[in-house]
Amino acid sequence: MSGGVDSAVAAARAVEAGHDVTGVHLALARNPQTYRTGARGCCTLEDSRDARRAADVIGIPFYVWDMADRFHEDVVDDFVAEYAAGRTPNPCLRCNEKIKFAAVLDRAVALGFDAVVTGHHARLGADGLLRRSVDVAKDQSYVLAVLTREQLSRSIFPLGDSTKAEVRAEAARRGLAVADKPDSHDICFIADGDTRRFLAQRLGEQPGEVVDASTGAVVGTHAGAYAYTVGQRRGLHLDRPAPDGRPRYVLSITPKTNTVTVGPAEALEVSRVRGERPVWTGGPRPEAPVECEVQLRAHGDVVPATVALDGDTLHAELRRPVRGVAAGQAVVAYRPDPAGDVVLGSATIAG
Amino acid sequence: MAYLDHAATTPMLDEALEAYVATAREVGNASSLHAAGRRARRRVEESRERVAAVLGARPSEVIFTGGGTESDNLAVKGIFWARRAAAGERRRVVSSAVEHHAVLDAVDWLGAHEGAEVGLLPVDASGRLDPAALRAELEAYGDRVALVTAMWANNEVGTVQPVGELAAVAAEYGVPFHTDAIQAVGQVPVDFAASGASALTVTGHKLGGPVGVGALLLGRDVAATPLLHGGGQERDVRSGTLDTAGIVAFAVAVEAAVKGQQEYAARVAALRDELVERVRHAVPEVVYNGDPTDRLPGNAHFSFPGCEGDALLLLLDAQGIACSTGSACSAGVAQPSHVLLAMGADDDRARSSLRFTLGHTSTRQEVDALIAALPGAVDRARRAAAYRTPR
């Protein structure tokens, strides 16, 4: 229970469904004051009190579990290391994989609980398939697609059949004061939302060159290649305009030479994606290529594709090229379905 | 439900609750001059006399406060300020390492904001202070010490301190001695005058009175600078409209607790001993913390090797058994107990502890419920501990 509206309503629904529910708030900051100030996040003392108040209203026990060390190792350090390696990580996905549905779930099961209930917007029905939420704009199946069958078998997502607006209305009806609390958007451990500064504080200044992909000419400098993401256009501060006068984008980041390579938008286009560490939960592991759709970043576009598994690698052939595919993000395969698109599997996009 | 957390708070005594309700129906500010005010004043002063009589104090030595934390802060800060004002070099505050946070944090605050020097006295493995350590401290720093503060009995592990001896050592060096007797009054014999203490903290809700009212017994010749400024209602050391109903109920509870102490201690200690025996039988590797004999009658404090106290608490709570890890939380996250660490326990043992405290409503059925639930809870907590992050 983060202290937000979703987990509060999820807890209330789990109680109503007849489960014996205990509320758990995760203390993720080593120093609780450091991650966020103000009420827009999910990691402050105020959020912890909001969660406790919601648990009291629902009438369930409530505990704070200290997961700060695990979170720091598995999520924050990983986040920094991934950027340093020229990739663009998704920390929410990592937190689901390593904390909420691993460290928390393991401890809970040992204590005698059967499952972890969260307020994620995704559907997980009796068929055991993970599907998109009915609220496509709030759908979080992308950051849950990393979960294995074992993890999903001990997960409950009570909100998948409701829109965010319905969840808020229900919270108000249930007398939960968090009904109007704003959504959290940014990365919870970066208090001011300034990712570039957060990384600079940890990785230091690493000046290097910005190189044009077609000419090989140095067109600018940067203070750290880690601050760039494939597909990025803003904040390049290039000294020289491109010969054709058109905007240039980050095409790739090469940590070895500390180089950021830029080029025209067309050069961003990718038709083949390779993923590592695949997870397949939409059925038996496929022997033959599967026709499906893929999503390549959170809230990103969905494109038709053919996906094949080969050992520890996932290959996706996109039916139309996509721009801004960043290593470190997840490629998630979906099977379109009127009852909610089904997550077939996922993998981490290789660089 | 099995309520095994009387050291956190204990149910109000019927007679205290009745006295509260009856008094709260009456109007009157004890500082007013008219008849209603005089009636309230009379109730307060009668209460002061009752408290003084059973605790070995003079009525003028009873300062009513808003509870234990306020009394501790008033004693520690108030006596420090007054002593330093009288002689600037008296800036050292001597306390034990196992005090409640109401004392410890007040002492730390003086260190951080008022230029106080802090001397913490160690305890032995049972949590007991050695008067010789206080003597050595005062021999070394006597002229610079503003006050000594040491609790009568420890709230976590229940160890009773040699308060009389400690007070006598402090008196030899002419240093005021404050004792936090919050856990002691009603549990063990407490006599302010006989103890030789200069100041003593007592609070209502640990002995069957209401929350939010307590007292500082402050020797007539002990100067203290006020924390709260205003009407000067209490000997000009404490301001604020007197809580007549709370004070009346507090006095009723203190009197009942002290007068019934012997009978209470015999009954509750017998039940506590049974609890300890049965816990040891159910979980043979348990470690019984604190002084085995010189301890509060209702206190049983254990370490459960291989378990985390907060996991045990969750599991027992789920079965209707209320107990405590005894240690403070920081942002809801259990911290290893400073008391157990001071007793030489390592971090794991400090985190694996659980406190059961009995009181005036405790029954054998509650002990039965604990013993029925405990082995299963310990098993599960052990399995959960396997998933703990190594620190």
ipTM above 0.90, yes or no: no
- Reported in sequence order, the residue ranges of chain B that DSSP labels E, i.e. its strands, are 2-3, 62-65, 92-96, 117-121, 145-149, 177-180, 199-203, 214-218, 287-288, 299-303, 321-322, 329-330, 333-334, 353-357
Per-residue pLDDT of A215-249, as tens digits, reads 888 989 999 999 888 888 887 878 777 777 888 99
Contact call for residues B147 and B93 (beta carbons, < 8 A): yes
Q: CATH 3.40.50.2000: does it fit domain A206-267?
A: no
Q: Containing H/E element for B194?
A: helix B192-195
Q: In chain B, what residues touch A32 (CB-CB under 8 Å)?
A: 330-331, 333
Chain B touched by A25 (CB under 8 Å): yes
So what's the pLDDT on residue A174? 96
For the cut 60, the answer to whether the pLDDT of residue B142 exceeds it is yes
Q: How many CA atoms lie within 13 A of A230 on its CB side?
A: 27
Contact: B331, A48; criterion CB under 8 Å = yes
Interface of B with A (CB under 8 A): 310-311, 314-315, 317-318, 329-334, 380-381, 383-384, 386-389, 391
Q: What is the pTM of this model?
A: 0.89
Choose the catalytic residue: B88, B329, B364, B379.
B329
B328 to chain A, minimum CA–CA distance in Å?
13
Min Cα separation B242/chain A (Å): 32
Taking each helix axis as running N to C, give the angle between helix B261-282 and helix B244-259, from 0 to 180 degrees, rounded to the nearest 10: 70
∠ CA(A173), CA(A176), CA(A177), 5° rounding?
120
Contact A52 B332 (CB under 8 A): yes
State pLDDT tens for residues B181-190.
Answer: 999 999 999 9
- Please tell me the predicted confidence (pLDDT) of residue A40: 41
Cβ–Cβ under 8 Å, residues B70 and B103: no
Backbone angles phi, psi at B200, to 5 degrees: -145, 135
Q: How far apart are the first and last CA of chain A?
A: 35
Tokens 């019984």 sit at which residue?
A: B288
Q: Is B220 exposed, middle or buried (0-12, 13-18, 19+ CB in 10 A)?
A: exposed
Q: Residue B380: closest CA among chain A residues belongs to which residue?
A: A111
Q: In the CATH scheme, what is the homologous superfamily, with its name and number, of domain A5-119+158-180? A: HUPs (3.40.50.620)
At B331 the pLDDT is 59
Please tell me the distance from the alpha carbon of residue A157 to that of residue A101, in angstroms, as a whole number: 12
Chains A, B: CB pairs < 8 Å:
53
Better pLDDT: A246 or B107: B107
B317, B330, B331: residue with CB nearest A61:
B317
Q: pLDDT band for position A43 (50/70/90)? A: low
Residue A199 confidence (pLDDT): 93
User: What pLDDT, on the 0 to 100 scale, is given for residue A31?
Assistant: 65
The Cα B93–Cα B178 span in angstroms is 11
- Residue found under tokens 């909001």: A50
Q: How confident is the model at residue A36 (pLDDT cuts 50, 70, 90)?
A: very low
The amino acid that residue B13 corresponds to is: L
Range with lowest mean pLDDT among A254-263, B22-31, B32-41, B112-121: A254-263
pLDDT of residue B2: 97
- Here the tokens at position A184 are 């959290």
Of the partner residues A69, A73, A107, the one whose CB lies closest to the CB of residue B384? A107
CB contact under 8 A, A111 and B314: yes
Higher pLDDT, A86 or A348: A348
Average pLDDT of the residues in B165-190: 98
Are A80 and A202 in contact by the 8 Å Cβ rule? The answer is: yes
The pLDDT value recorded for residue A41 is 45
Tokens of A90: 């998704």
Q: Which residues pair with B301 in a beta bridge?
A: B355
pLDDT of A44 reads 74
What tokens were used for B278? 């049965």
**Which of B351, B389, B391 is the best residue to mutate to test the A interface, defined by the most A CB atoms within 10 Å of its own CB?**
B389
A22 lies within 8 A of chain B by CB: yes
Is residue A188 annotated as part of the catalytic site, yes or no? yes
Q: How far apart are CA B111 and CA B106, in angstroms?
A: 9
Most confident of the ranges A105-119, A218-232, B319-333:
A105-119
Q: How does DSSP assign B206-245, residue by residue?
A: TTTS-TT-EEEEE-TT-----SS-SS-TBTTTB-S---HH
Q: Is the pLDDT at B174 greater than 50, yes or no?
A: yes
Q: Are B190 and B55 in contact (CB under 8 A)?
A: yes
Q: What's the rounded mean pLDDT across residues A280-286?
A: 95
**Dist CA B235 CA B248 (whole Å):** 18
CATH value of A268-349 in 3.40.50.920, 1.10.3720.10, 2.40.30.10, 3.30.413.10: 2.40.30.10
Residue B119 CA: distances (Å) to CA of B140, B147, B168:
11, 10, 18
Q: Which of A73, A107, A112 sits opposite B387 (nearest CB)?
A: A107
Q: Into which CATH architecture does domain B2-8+261-385 fall?
A: Alpha-Beta Complex (3.90)
Q: What is the pLDDT of residue A351?
A: 74
What percent of chain B stands above pLDDT 70?
97
Per the CB < 8 A criterion, the answer to whether A277 and A349 are in contact is no
Q: What does the pLDDT look like over B114-129, one tens digit per residue?
A: 999 999 999 999 999 9
Please report, for residues A53, B123, B322, B383, the alpha-carbon distance to residue A66 in angstroms, rounded to integers and kept in the order given: 19, 29, 21, 17
The per-residue pLDDT for range B270-297, each reduced to its tens digit, is 999 999 999 999 999 999 999 999 999 9
pLDDT for A237: 79
Confidence at residue B12, expressed as pLDDT on a 0 to 100 scale: 98
Residue pair B185/B154 in contact (Cβ under 8 Å)? The answer is no
**Mean pLDDT value across residues A135-161:** 97
Q: Where are the domains of chain B?
A: 2-8+261-385, 14-259
Spell out the domain ranges in chain A: 5-119+158-180, 206-267, 268-349
Asked whether A65 and A26 are in contact (CB, 8 A), the reply is yes
pLDDT at B332: 67
The CATH architecture to which B14-259 belongs is 3-Layer(aba) Sandwich (3.40)
User: Mean pLDDT across the stretch B13-31?
Assistant: 97
Mean pLDDT for chain A? 91
Q: Which residue of A has its CA nearest to B313?
A: A63
Residues of chain A with Cβ-Cβ distance to B386 below 8 Å are 110
Instruction: Tell me, yes or no, if A92 is annotated catalytic.
Output: no
DSSP A267-296: GG-EEEEEEEEEEE-SSSPPSS-EEEEEE-
Q: So what's the pLDDT on residue A37? A: 44
- Structure confidence at residue B80 as a pLDDT band (50, 70, 90): very high
pLDDT of residue A235: 79
Instruction: Provide mean pLDDT across the span B205-229.
Output: 97
Judge: A103–B389 Cβ closer than 8 Å, yes or no.
yes
pLDDT of A130 reads 98
